[in-house]
Amino acid sequence: WLIRLVVATLFVFGLKRGVGAETLSEFFSRLRLEAHVGCSPSALRTVMHLLERLLLDTAAVWEKEGIAYGEIRPVIGAVDETFLQRMMLVFMDLATGYLLMEEVATDRSFDTWFDRTSDRLKTFGTEVLYLVSDRAKALIKLAHTGLGCPSIPDVFHLGRDLAKGYSLAIFGRLRQAKRDLEQAKQRLETLQQNAQAEQAQVAQAQARVAAWATSVHHWQEVGRAWRQHLSNVSGILHPWRLLDSIRQTSTEVEEQLRAELKAIETLLETNGLPRKQDTLDKVQKQLAGLSALVDLWWQTVRQDLTQLAMTPRWTQWAEDVLLPWMYWQEQLRRTRHPVQKAQMALVLQAVEEVFERHPCTRQLKPELLAGWKAWAAEHAKAFQRASSAVEGRNGSLSQMQ
């Protein structure tokens, strides 16, 4: 257990989190481990270098074994660059979190991206099902021209574009209203403490306090409505509706997204906020590509079911009972937004009850049911709306430099 403690600490905190050897040495010394293992900074650095080499060697062996074992499923890709001492291009499979590529490059042009990613795909003998990225032209071209796959906009980038365009204006009005309310309250308090103040002045100050309190409440409600609209944009993009887990198509999702964007425009116009057309146009252009993910995902599901020669009854069970049950579990695990998490918990509970009662579920033996669950879980992980996994990792690494 002692060796396991030391290795785990060096791996998690030294290699993954960038904690220095001096700090780790102090930690081990406080545990009084120096009598049992070498805890000097130089000794720990030597062990970490060895661990790093062993991890890379092991990963290479596992990669070769995986390729030799059999057919590898198409990659659900995310690409991003990070800047450490030098620029690095990163290519990740979002469904598994596996880093397909992490290489130093002098530029991030289409040609460089294509050369590096295509080499790795040839090694694995697979292709890209779709590529999630920001709207950088080189990355869109990489998907469409280079890899021959759909380019899916990142839903979180889309939300960030909206937030960047309008949040400052909305919450700037709220901050100003709060400052004006505080000043009005101070003015009223001063007048009330002044015995010589005229009643008309006091009444006027009270009216100002009431007016600014109304303004604060108004902008608080506008802010809540704004946040709800942003949340709705994310909540719409699923193969089933978040409200009742009814199956959706790309067309239906796109219509809902456009309606939500229209509601945002109305909110802005109603409250006299500047209408930034370039921001709205940028978001509008992404809605069709974003919505296309839904039909693309359903297509892969139905290809699998067709190959299995499923009867209509069992197909309906897989599409409307098993898959949503596994999908909402996966989304609940990923989601941090408290309101959406609560909504997902409710819809998951309802779907789970249907799953448990369904005749097809009860008909399957435990080992067969376990196989179906694994199949559904794999498809649930294949619905990837954002490249945050690779971007978050890159951001974490850059902070360690």
* 317 contact partners, CB below 8 Å, separation of at least 6: 358, 360, 361
- The confidence score (pLDDT) of residue 166 equals 84
Residue 190 falls in which region: left (phi positive, over 0), alpha (psi -120 to 50) or beta:
alpha
Instruction: Dump pLDDT digits (tens) for 95-130.
Output: 988 889 988 999 999 999 999 999 999 988 899 999
- The confidence score (pLDDT) of residue 84 equals 67
| Average predicted confidence (pLDDT) for the chain | 90
Reply yes or no on whether the pLDDT at 223 is more than 90: yes
Say which residue, 216 or 52, is predicted with more confidence: 216
Instruction: Dump pLDDT digits (tens) for 254-312.
Output: 999 999 999 999 999 999 988 888 888 999 999 999 999 999 999 999 999 999 888 99
Instruction: Dump pLDDT digits (tens) for 183-201.
Output: 999 999 998 888 777 888 8
pTM of the model: 0.81
CB neighbour class for 385 (10 Å; exposed up to 12, middle 13-18, buried from 19): buried
Reply yes or no on whether the pLDDT at 163 is more than 80: yes
Strands 87-93 and 128-133: unpaired
Percent residues over pLDDT 90 in the chain: 60
- The confidence score (pLDDT) of residue 77 equals 94
**In Å, how far from its chain's centre is CA 188?**
48
**How many beta carbons lie within 10 A of that of residue 111, not counting itself?**
12
- The confidence score (pLDDT) of residue 71 equals 66
Kindly list the distances between the CA atom of residue 109 and the CA atoms of 78, 105, 144, 219, 294, in Å, as whole numbers in the listed order. Answer: 16, 10, 15, 44, 29
Mean pLDDT along residues 16-27: 86
Say which residue, 34 or 264, is predicted with more confidence: 264
- The confidence score (pLDDT) of residue 33 equals 84
Percent residues over pLDDT 70 in the chain: 96
- The confidence score (pLDDT) of residue 115 equals 95
Instruction: Dump pLDDT digits (tens) for 326-344.
Output: 999 999 998 888 888 999 9
CB neighbour class for 368 (10 Å; exposed up to 12, middle 13-18, buried from 19): exposed
